[in-house]
Structure formats: C-alpha cells, structure tokens
C-alpha cells in the first residue's frame, strides 16, 4: 500500500499537476495540504473520475486539508481537539479497512509560525502541544497509525541545504525542535530517516533560484506508530514533480507499506 502527502499550494492552481501525478503513480491514499478552498469548491469530479474517494476539511483562501483514497472511508474526523476557538482547517483523519485489519491515516498542515515575534509562533507551539496529546490517544489504540503532512519543521542540519541560513526561523529554532523531539519521543518513527541517512528535500522556495540550486529543505514528513513502522518498506520523495509546469513549491512524499 502506498500512502503519500503533498502540500499542493492551492488545489485549483495545481489541479492539472495533481491529476497527472495521480494518473501516473496511482497511490492508494494521498493527504493534501493548503487546498485553499471551501469544501464546496473542491474539484471533486476530475479526481473521482480517477477512482478516488474524497474527504475535505476546507477553508476559504487559506489552509485546508483533504484525503484522497482508492479505499472507501470507514471513519472520518476533522480538526485538532483542544481549543474550541481554533477555526483553522489543519487536520483530517481517515480510517480504512485492509486485509490485516484497519489503518488510521492523519493528514496535517502544521502552522508555519513566522514571524516569530508575532502571535503566529506561540500558536504554532500550542498547536504542536495539542498534537502531542492527540497522538498519545492514537498510539494508545495500538494500531497502524500514519501521521503525515507539511509539518513546517526542519528536523536537523541534514534536512536543509544551508542550515545556518534557516536557523532562527520558526521552522528551525530550539522551541520548534523541542516540540518535534517530543512527538518522536511518544514512540513515532520518522519514516524517511528510518530508511536513509542521506539529505532529501521536499520543499524548494519559488524565489532566489532555490530549485535550480537544489537549495531545499525537508519539512514534509511521515511519522509512524510502531505498528505502521513494522510494515514500512520504503519512502520515495517525488522530486521530479518540482520541475513540472506550474508546480507547487513542495513535492509528494510517499511511504510504501505491507498492509
């Protein structure tokens, strides 16, 4: 089974790229971030024509997440618990039946947090603390659980072409690193780092020739419960998609599992 994440940077602007990638690769489940549309505006028909079931948690102009699945949904939940005042659409989760039982796939768009001297950085850290509580509850179920998406976190120096240039940014500073480690310490496995120790980037800025210079960072991740990590076979970063016409600044990242 192939499970992927992709920050699409606007579903309407990238629909042709998404349809091309889905048709070529045919992943079983894809979580999308930054769809930037309300649920009613999501281009369902074109994607459903490729065989995908669709669930969305949209928001006008900003944020928004979705799950596309060749498998039917058993359950769907939307939103991160812990703050009733938080209206940002950043989490969607689906449960799916497979031959070995059930798998739980949770797609997130973690807050960027910049600028750090604004209210956006405390919101990022608070959101991550709420995520930790959420993950604790999911891990207690002792089932295959895949938490994936755009985390807006650079885990370490190996995950940036120029780590010194990023240090101090909300994506790469001590407070963010501490919260990232807290997530892993719950018992999650960083899927890519479980399969390679080589640099592998998932985002290249549109500015300053970042793609041409390969000046990328890794901020799109798959984190796995022990039951999912045991079934991991490999991780693929679809770097070539960044060179397509009208690309997102992120590329799809895919985990392959024995379910």
* DSSP string of 41-107, one letter each residue: GS-HHHHHTTT-EEEEE--SSS--EEEEESSPPSEEEES-SS-TT-----EEEEEEEETTEEEEEEE
Helices 174-185 and 120-139: crossing angle in degrees, nearest 10, is 10
Look up residue 235 and give its DSSP letter: E
Q: For 77-108, what is each residue's pLDDT tens digit?
A: 999 999 999 999 999 999 999 998 999 999 99
How far, CA to CA in Å, does 68 sit from each of 33, 37, 48, 75, 92?
Answer: 12, 15, 9, 13, 11
Q: For 58-82, what is each residue's pLDDT tens digit?
A: 999 999 999 999 999 999 999 999 9
- Annotated binding residues, written as ranges, equal 7, 34, 150, 152, 249-250
Omega within 30 of 0 (cis) for the link into 82: no
Measure CA of the first residue to CA of the last residue in the chain; give whole Å: 6
Of 134, 159, 201, 250, the catalytic one is 250
Half-sphere exposure of 127 (CA within 13 A, CB side): 25
- The model carries a pTM of 0.98
Q: Is the pLDDT of residue 22 over 90?
A: yes
The pLDDT value recorded for residue 101 is 93
The pLDDT value recorded for residue 79 is 98
The average pLDDT across 20-37 equals 98
Q: How far apart are CA 108 and CA 249, in angstroms?
A: 17
Domains annotated for the chain, with CATH where assigned, are 2-257 (3.60.10.10)
- Annotated binding residues for Mg(2+), written as ranges, equal 7, 34, 150, 152, 249-250
Q: For 210-232, what is each residue's pLDDT tens digit?
A: 999 999 999 999 999 999 999 99
How many residues make up the chain in this entry?
Answer: 259
Of 52, 57, 134, 150, the catalytic one is 150
The average pLDDT across 18-25 equals 98
Q: Is the pLDDT of residue 208 over 90?
A: no
Which residue blocks in 106-199 are alpha helix, DSSP H? 120-139, 163-166, 174-185, 191-195
Q: For 151-191, what is each residue's pLDDT tens digit?
A: 999 999 999 999 999 999 999 999 999 999 999 999 999 99
Sign of CA dihedral 31, 13, 169, 166: positive
Task: Tell how strand 2-7 and strand 29-33 pair up.
Answer: parallel
How far, CA to CA in Å, does 257 sit from each of 75, 134, 188, 214, 233?
Answer: 20, 23, 16, 29, 5
Q: Has 250 been annotated as catalytic?
A: yes
Per DSSP, the three-state class of 120 is helix
The pLDDT value recorded for residue 202 is 98
The count of other CB atoms within 10 Å of the CB of residue 243 is 11
Q: Has 150 been annotated as catalytic?
A: yes
Of 28, 52, 109, 190, the catalytic one is 109
């Amino acid at each position: 089974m192939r499970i992927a994440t992709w920050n699409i940077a606007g579903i309407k602007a990238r629909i042709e790229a998404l349809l091309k990638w889905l048709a070529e690769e045919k992943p079983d489940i894809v979580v999308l971030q930054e769809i930037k549309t309300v649920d009613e505006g999501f281009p369902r028909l074109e994607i459903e024509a490729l065989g995908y079931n669709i669930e969305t948690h949209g928001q006008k102009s900003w944020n928004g997440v979705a799950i596309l699945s060749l498998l039917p949904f058993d359950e769907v939940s939307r939103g991160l618990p812990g703050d009733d005042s938080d209206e940002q659409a950043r989490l969607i989760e689906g449960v799916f039946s497979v031959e070995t039982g059930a798998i739980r796939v949770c797609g997130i768009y973690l807050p960027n947090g910049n600028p750090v001297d604004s209210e956006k950085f405390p919101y990022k850290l608070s959101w991550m603390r709420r995520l930790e509580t959420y993950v604790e509850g999911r891990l207690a179920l002792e089932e295959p659980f895949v938490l994936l998406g755009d985390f807006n976190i650079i885990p370490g120096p190996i995950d940036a072409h120029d780590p010194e240039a990023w240090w101090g940014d909300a994506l790469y500073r001590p407070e963010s690193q501490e919260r990232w480690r807290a997530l892993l310490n719950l018992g999650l496995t960083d899927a890519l780092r479980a399969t390679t120790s080589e640099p592998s980037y998932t985002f290249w800025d549109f500015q300053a020739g970042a793609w041409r210079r390969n000046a990328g960072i890794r901020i799109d991740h798959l984190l796995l419960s022990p039951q999912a990590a045991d079934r991991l076979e490999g991780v693929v970063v679809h770097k070539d998609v960044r060179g397509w016409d009208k690309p997102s600044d992120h590329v799809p990242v895919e985990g392959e599992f024995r379910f």
